[in-house]
Structures are given as C-alpha cells and as structure tokens.
Structure 1
C-alpha cells in the first residue's frame, strides 16, 4: 500500500476538496449549521484564514491560509470532520477497515489538497470554489448558491456582484 505524504509548508495557502463517503447524500447542506459550528470551534482552537469555501450536498471545496509557523491542516480537517459527525449523529455504511479504525463512515477517509503556487493560482482556485455550484447544475449563477463564501466577498467589496454572471470555463490559471 502506498503512503501519501502531504507537503508541510508553514503559512501556506491550500485548496481542498473534502467529500462524504456517500456521494448521493445531501447531508452537508441539510446539516450546514452543524458544519459551520464544527468549523467555528476548530478555527477558534487552531486558527486559519478562510479565503473561500463552498458547500455542496456531498462535498465541499475550500481555500485556507495557515498561520505563519503552522503547516498542520490535516489535524484541522480531522477535527472538523469529527465534530460534524458527532453533531449530526449519523453513521454511514462502514467497511471492515472503517470499523477497525472506529470511523463512522460519514466521510471519505482522505481529502484532496493542492498547495497554491502564486497569485494567479490563488485567484483561479477562489473562482473554482465560487463557480462549483454552477458546474454541478445547482444554480445558474454563483451568487444564487447560499452556501458559498462569495456572498462575504461581495459584501466586503472584494468581488464585484457582476462577477456572478460571468462565464467560467473551469480551467485553472486562465
């Protein structure tokens, strides 16, 4: 079995994809308040900046920037996933290995991460987060999706409200 070693870059900005084990579930949007609380508590204990976040029914994308001197995003995700699972009190189908590890079966075991290389890469991944609900056919414009940080960015004047109407081909770095 291969062993994946995650990069340990202090103060990095990182793009994530985190998914539920059941890719047909709607648990994340149905229990979005529990997810927000899990993030809030974890962030208070182990600070990080949320640059973008979008929650879809069965997966989510986020861009975080870690504090200087800190590279441990895996522990943060473990805490968020654990708190959410305990809060909603659900157990999904579990394989023998998940049972042996004491896992509830709600989440896919791993998550996908990409360390941001530069400002262009950063901007592309922010756009990807915001555009994802459109890509999956949930809405026609990013601003129509309620579970997205694009609303915060528009409110703070960091993204023009008109951005929500542009087309996006999904390619990074464009």
Structure 2
C-alpha cells in the first residue's frame, strides 16, 4: 500500500478534487441535495471555510481554509463521502454495486474513488487561480458556455457577496493549468 505523506498543518487554503468511482455516473448532480446535507452536517461538527466549490456529474473541486485547531481535512472528506453514500443508499438513490473494483471502503460503499487529490495553495495568486479553476470547470468540460450558467457552483455566492463580477468568464484563467479552462 502506498505511503501518502501529507504536510503538517499549514494555514494555506487547500484545493481538492474528489471523484466518484464510476466516472460515467451523474450521481453528484442527481443527488445534490444529499451531498449538500452531508456537507452541512460536517460543517456543523467540524467547521471550515469554503472558499470555492463546484459539483460536476462525477467529480467535484473545492478550496477550503481549515482552522488551526482542527486541520484534518482527510477526516472531513471521509465523513462527507460516507454520509453521502449512506444517505443515498438508504433513500434508494444509488443502486447496490457489484463486480470487481466496487468493494466498499471505509464507509464509502464503493461510490467514491478511494482517495482524493489535494494541492496546498502557495500564495494569493495560486489561491485565486484555483478558485477560478473551480468556477471555470463546467465550461472546461463543455457543460455550459459561462461559469454563471452552472448552478452547482460557489460563483453564485461570491457574486451575491460582491467578491466577483457577474460577468466573470472562464477565459480569465486560460492557460493557468496548461490548457484553456
């Protein structure tokens, strides 16, 4: 088994990518209310700041800032994934899985890829690039023309709060990750 080494606490925000095991699934969007409730419960029990979040059919990206007193993001993701899996199964929203590679792991019930990817933002520019990457990701995947056309994105909250212009377009991050957003 690989030995993943994660850094000790850093006050820097962290960018995450979390994927479903079945990359052809649309479960995250189909059951967005279940996901939102899972996040609400974890936020209540283990608070953190959500700087950006976007949910796509089979994966999601988020940027979090964690409290210094409780920086364990792995446990938070584990709880979000486990609660979503449990509640979706109980409601009959997600069918039981069978076959090779669908074994349940740590309460995730085989719905999720076992791990997630994280990037610790190095500075303010890196943070802003990753926030904008979240907003532009639905455009990158060809799901919408403008970031504001995608309902499952924190860009709407940030527009309401005056943190971003309503006309913001994903071209603002073109090339930031080696390709157009």
TM-score (norm 2): 0.88
Alpha carbons 2:139, 2:170 under 8 Å: kept? no
Alpha carbons 1:10, 1:69 under 8 Å: kept? no
After superposition, the Cα gap between the structure-2 partners of 1:159 and 1:110, relative to the gap in structure 1 and judged at 3 Å, is same
> Aligned-pair distance for 1:138?
0.2
Higher helix share: 1
Q: Mind listing any 5+ residue stretches in structure 2 that lack a counterpart?
A: none
Query: What RMSD in Å do the two structures reach over aligned CA positions?
Result: 2.1
Q: Mind listing any 5+ residue stretches in structure 1 that lack a counterpart?
A: none
Q: Look up the match of 1:66.
A: 66
> Which 10-residue stretch deviates more, 87-96 or 126-135?
87-96
After superposition, the Cα gap between the structure-2 partners of 1:170 and 1:30, relative to the gap in structure 1 and judged at 3 Å, is farther
Q: Aligned partners of 2:171, 2:55: CA distance in 1, in Å? A: 20
After superposition, the Cα gap between the structure-2 partners of 1:170 and 1:106, relative to the gap in structure 1 and judged at 3 Å, is farther
Q: Aligned partners of 1:94, 1:73: CA distance in 2, in Å? A: 30
Q: Aligned partners of 1:105, 1:57: CA distance in 2, in Å? A: 17
Aligned length: 173
> Aligned-pair distance for 1:168?
3.3
Q: Look up the match of 1:148.
A: 153
> Which 10-residue stretch deviates more, 94-103 or 20-29?
94-103
Q: State the Cα deviation string for residues 17-64 of structure 1 (Å, max 9, x = none).
A: 000000000000000000000000001000000000000000000000
Q: Aligned partners of 2:41, 2:13: CA distance in 1, in Å? A: 20
Q: Aligned partners of 2:4, 2:10: CA distance in 1, in Å? A: 19
Trace 1:82-121 onto structure 2 (pairs within 5 A): 82-89=82-89, 90=94, 91-93=96-98, 95=100, 98-99=103-104, 103-121=108-126
Q: Look up the match of 2:127.
A: 122
